[in-house]
């Protein structure tokens, strides 16, 4: 638990002044609360001593004043401290999101989306409860105990010792149950992550689920996870349900001790009636702190388990980061060069000894079999990965010496897997570009061969594409992604198999538009279609992570290698389609 507060302290430190105000209100509220039993004692003792009724009215007025003042400070105590916990939650959520958007690809290969979402919602809420209500009530109950016991010792230390007799049992119960609650809640949060991941995957892949008639199977898997989650939750509820009554039983023992021993001492004349009533009043005041103490322990253990899970995310560092002294490539379009470049994943070589040049302003195409390393090659240019061997240079500078953000601003990247946001077509096209207007968006859509399709939509460019662009066809999604890349007017345009979902006529129209867009810009095309790459200045063929052929379209046909075989196969397919 101490580690949890160490992790949270940088966030709490920002609100030191507010914590001081809330803490002061808490101290004043408890101090005024401790004066109430003393006032009752003084009033009863004065009454039994034969004081006039006028004096008794003063005691009544004092009790009302103390109660009003206590309520005032209680209000501000809760408002200030709970508000700070909300502010800390806000700051932590921002930091968590900021961390998530900067982490590298490898992180998302190790953590599931549902797990991340569970930590950003459920766990963050548990931490807020720990830093707000739990801390507030822990401080309040602790101070109430100290003040009450201090006064009780001062009035009658023997009776106070009897009242504290069950305290060791309370400590033992809290320690045993606290550890078990922590472990159970951590297990529940892991199961919640599993459920979130299952729901996220099932919804994202709902088309596949339906296509393979797996609705019942998915429901069974979800029911199993849900059953396990409910089972663990019931175990925690059983534990908490046993914890609270046990504490209340120990509180009852304390009352019994005070009534029994205090009554004997009152009958023996060793304490006054006012002192006896005061002891019982204090015991009544301590009932809620004793019960709240169990609730606070519960919240603390939950928050501690959740803080551990959040800390795990917050301490993640991106593998791809800007160096302390980042270099900047020259102004304008620069030459891109791969120099004996290699990349390994978990000991497996994805690329090995790749050396090639992409001259400034040229068009270079990459072709090869599935899994040959084409996408990996262009990902290195944008520093999605860093090479484990050799270098990737832009303008003669190793890209590892450049700030990834500055590098990626120069690149318009259309990845193989198209992703669209749940927004309008216009917003998706303008994504990442500030100060755009409708004319620029329309021009990019026309270049990408999408404008004609958009004109057929009832709402045009304001059409909502749905989650991941579900309202659009595969070809429309690809062309939207191309338009988005063109909006950046990048120095380097990378199309990673970005025309695979369009027909050959649409492809030709898009390529024609790109030729008009490309003058002076560098373009890298990845495709399985010869028709896409045949006009490139240079074509490289990858196989097994190595360059096995290179040349122009005509030169590669003369080499009679993989490229020539691919060309002949696709020509035959076109002839068969025309029959």
DSSP 161-218: HHHTTTHHHHHHHHHHHHHHHHHHHHHHHHHHHHHHHHHHHHHHTHHHHHHTT-HHHH
Residues 462 and 539 in one domain: no
Residues 248 and 106 in one domain: yes
- CATH code, domain with 119: 1.20.1560.10
The encoded tokens of residue 19 equal 């914590």
Exposed (0-12), middle (13-18) or buried (19+): which is 253, by Cβ within 10 Å?
A: middle
Residues 125 and 158 in one domain: yes
The bridge status of strand 389-394 relative to strand 336-345 is: antiparallel
Q: For 15-52, where are the alpha helices, taking DSSP H only?
A: 16-48
Return the SS3 of 28: helix
Residues 50 and 103 in one domain: yes
What is the rounded CA–CA span in Å between residue 174 and residue 455? 68
Residues 405 and 281 in one domain: no
Residues 138 and 221 in one domain: yes
Residues 260 and 176 in one domain: yes
Q: Is residue 149 part of a domain?
A: yes
Largest CA distance in the chain: 122
Q: Which residues contact 54 (CB under 8 A, 6 or more apart)?
A: none
Domain boundary among 256, 279, 314: 314
Write the pLDDT tens digit of every residue in 64-94.
888 899 889 989 988 888 888 888 888 888 8
Asked whether the predicted pLDDT for residue 441 surpasses 70, the reply is: yes
What number is the average pLDDT over the span 200-223?
74
- CATH code, domain with 385: 3.40.50.300
Residues 439 and 406 in one domain: no
The bridge status of strand 492-496 relative to strand 389-394 is: unpaired
Residue range of the domain that includes 496? 336-410+490-578
Q: Is residue 24 part of a domain?
A: yes
pLDDT of residue 72: 92
Please identify which residue in the block is written with the tokens 């063929």: 541
Q: Is residue 108 part of a domain?
A: yes
Asked whether the predicted pLDDT for residue 53 surpasses 70, the reply is: no
Residues 466 and 562 in one domain: no
Report the percentage of the chain scoring pLDDT > 90: 2
Write the pLDDT tens digit of every residue in 347-398.
788 888 888 888 888 889 899 888 888 888 888 888 888 888 889 888 888 8
Q: For 269-417, where are the alpha helices, taking DSSP H only?
A: 273-314, 374-381, 404-409
Split at pLDDT 50, 70, 90, the class of 178 is: low
**Residues paired with 368 in a beta bridge:** 542
What is the rounded CA–CA span in Å between residue 531 and residue 517? 19
pLDDT of residue 288: 67
Q: Is residue 323 part of a domain?
A: no
Q: Contact at 8 Å (CB) between 20 and 82?
A: no
What number is the average pLDDT over the span 268-274?
74
Q: Which position has the higher pLDDT, 286 or 354?
A: 354
Q: Which position has the higher pLDDT, 434 or 413?
A: 413
Residue positions counted in the chain: 579
Residues 404 and 428 in one domain: no
> Which of 232, 235, 239 has the alpha carbon at shortest distance from 195?
232
> Which of 442, 551, 422 has the alpha carbon at shortest distance from 486?
442
What is the rounded CA–CA span in Å between residue 508 and residue 505? 5
What is the rounded CA–CA span in Å between residue 300 and residue 292? 12
Number of domains in the chain: 3
What number is the average pLDDT over the span 516-542?
83
pLDDT of residue 294: 66
Residues 432 and 567 in one domain: no
Split at pLDDT 50, 70, 90, the class of 3 is: low
Domain boundary among 480, 509, 524: 480
Q: Is residue 521 part of a domain?
A: yes
pLDDT of residue 531: 81
Q: Is residue 320 part of a domain?
A: no
What number is the average pLDDT over the span 330-351?
83
What is the rounded CA–CA span in Å between residue 119 and residue 376? 31
Residues 111 and 236 in one domain: yes
**Dihedral angle computed from the Cα positions of residues 246, 251, 256 and 258, in that order, rounded to the nearest 10 degrees:** 160
Domain boundary among 314, 347, 368: 314
Write the pLDDT tens digit of every residue in 443-470.
888 888 888 888 888 888 888 887 777 7
Q: Is residue 298 part of a domain?
A: yes
Asked whether the predicted pLDDT for residue 1 surpasses 60, the reply is: no
Q: Is residue 42 part of a domain?
A: yes
Helix/strand/coil percent split, the chain, to 5: 65, 10, 20
What number is the average pLDDT over the span 542-569?
86
């Amino acid at each position: 638990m101490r580690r949890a507060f160490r992790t949270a302290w940088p966030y709490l430190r920002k609100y030191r002044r507010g914590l001081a105000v809330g803490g002061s209100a808490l101290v004043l509220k408890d101090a005024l609360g401790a004066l109430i039993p003393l006032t009752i004692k003084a009033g009863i003792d004065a009454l039994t001593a034969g004081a006039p009724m006028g004096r008794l009215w003063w005691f009544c007025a004092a009790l009302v004043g103390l109660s009003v003042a206590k309520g005032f400070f209680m209000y501000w105590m809760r408002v200030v401290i709970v508000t700070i916990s909300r502010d800390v939650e806000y700051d932590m959520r921002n930091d968590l999101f900021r961390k998530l958007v900067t982490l590298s690809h490898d992180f998302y290969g190790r953590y599931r989306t549902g797990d991340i979402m569970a930590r950003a919602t459920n766990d963050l809420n548990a931490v807020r409860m720990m830093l707000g209500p739990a801390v507030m009530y822990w401080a309040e109950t602790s101070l109430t105990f100290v003040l009450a016991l201090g006064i009780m010792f001062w009035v009658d230390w023997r009776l106070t010792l009897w009242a504290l007799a069950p305290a060791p049992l309370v400590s033992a119960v809290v320690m045993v149950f606290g550890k078990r609650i922590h472990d159970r809640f951590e297990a529940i949060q892991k199961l919640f992550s599993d459920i979130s991941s299952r729901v996220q995957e099932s919804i994202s892949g709902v088309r596949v689920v339906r296509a393979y008639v797996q609705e019942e199977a998915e429901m069974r898997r979800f029911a199993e996870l849900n059953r396990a989650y409910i089972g663990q939750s019931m175990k925690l509820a059983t534990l908490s349900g046993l914890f609270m009554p046990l504490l209340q039983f120990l509180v009852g023992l304390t009352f019994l001790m005070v009534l029994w021993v205090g009554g004997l001492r009152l009958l023996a004349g060793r304490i006054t009636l006012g002192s006896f009533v005061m002891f019982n009043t204090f015991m009544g005041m301590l009932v809620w702190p004793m019960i709240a103490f169990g609730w606070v322990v519960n919240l603390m253990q939950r928050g501690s388990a959740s803080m551990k899970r959040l800390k795990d995310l917050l301490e993640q560092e991106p593998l791809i980061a800007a160096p302390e002294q980042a270099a900047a490539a020259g102004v304008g379009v620069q030459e891109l060069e791969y120099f004996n470049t290699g990349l390994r994943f978990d000991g497996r070589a994805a690329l090995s000894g790749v050396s090639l040049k992409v001259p400034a302003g040229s068009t270079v195409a990459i072709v090869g079999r599935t899994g040959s390393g084409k996408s990996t090659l262009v990902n290195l240019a944008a520093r999605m990965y860093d090479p484990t061997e050799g270098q990737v240079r832009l303008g003669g500078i190793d890209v590892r010496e450049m700030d990834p953000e500055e590098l990626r601003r120069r690149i318009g990247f259309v990845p193989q897997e198209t992703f669209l946001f749940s927004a309008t077509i216009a917003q998706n096209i303008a994504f990442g570009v500030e100060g755009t207007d409708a004319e620029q968006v329309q021009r990019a859509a026309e270049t990408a061969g999408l404008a004609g399709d958009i004109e057929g939509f009832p709402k045009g460019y304001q059409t909502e594409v749905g989650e991941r662009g579900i309202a659009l066809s595969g070809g429309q999604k690809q062309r939207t992604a191309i338009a988005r890349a063109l909006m950046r007017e990048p120095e380097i345009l990378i199309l990673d198999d970005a025309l695979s979902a369009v027909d050959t006529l649409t492809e030709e129209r898009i390529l024609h538009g790109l030729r008009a867009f490309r003058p002076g810009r560098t373009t890298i095309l990845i495709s399985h279609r010869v028709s896409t790459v045949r006009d490139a200045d240079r074509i490289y063929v990858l196989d097994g992570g190595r360059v096995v052929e290179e040349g122009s379209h005509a030169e590669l046909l003369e080499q009679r290698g993989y490229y020539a075989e691919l060309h002949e196969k696709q020509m035959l397919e076109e002839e068969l389609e025309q029959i």
